[in-house]
Amino acid sequence: MNNSKMRRAGNSSYAYHQVPAAELEEENNQMTENLKEKIGALKSLSIDIGAEVKYQDRLLRDMDEDFERTGGFLGNTISRVVRLSRASHNYYIIYLFIFSIVVFFILYIALKFR
């Protein structure tokens, strides 16, 4: 038997024809090159995905740190307000409330007659 292979021809399930070994070798080389290109593209895509994951991870860690700092700041502020409300000088809260009403009233008048 010679070095040629049998290959199915066209859509017919029983028709076979002789394909030279050089042609098969060329087809294998072409398929190998195509596979190399696809593997290179996948590698590049994987590297890009890895870089994006690292960036997103860093962004999430930074946001977590910001939330922790903000939570600490908010906790300190709330504790100060609670301490202020428990103090014997409750008239500060009344002054703050009156001041807020006056400021809102002035803003209302300024925006209404603008």
Task: Give me the pLDDT at residue 96, please.
Answer: 85
Residue ranges covered by each domain of the chain: 5-112
pLDDT in tens, 79-106: 887 887 776 666 777 888 899 999 999 9
Give the three-state DSSP class for 10.
coil
Instruction: Return d(Cα 23, Cα 29) in angstroms, integer.
Output: 10
pLDDT in tens, 20-78: 888 889 999 999 999 999 999 999 999 999 999 999 999 999 999 998 888 888 888 88
Element (H, E) at 16: strand 16-19
Residue 40 half-sphere exposure toward CB, CA atoms < 13 A: 6
Give the three-state DSSP class for 8.
strand
Instruction: Return d(Cα 94, Cα 96) in angstroms, integer.
Output: 5
Regarding pTM above 0.95, the answer is: no
At a CB cut-off of 8 Å and minimum separation 6, what does 94 contact? Answer: none
| Cβ atoms of residues 31 and 39 within 8 Å | no
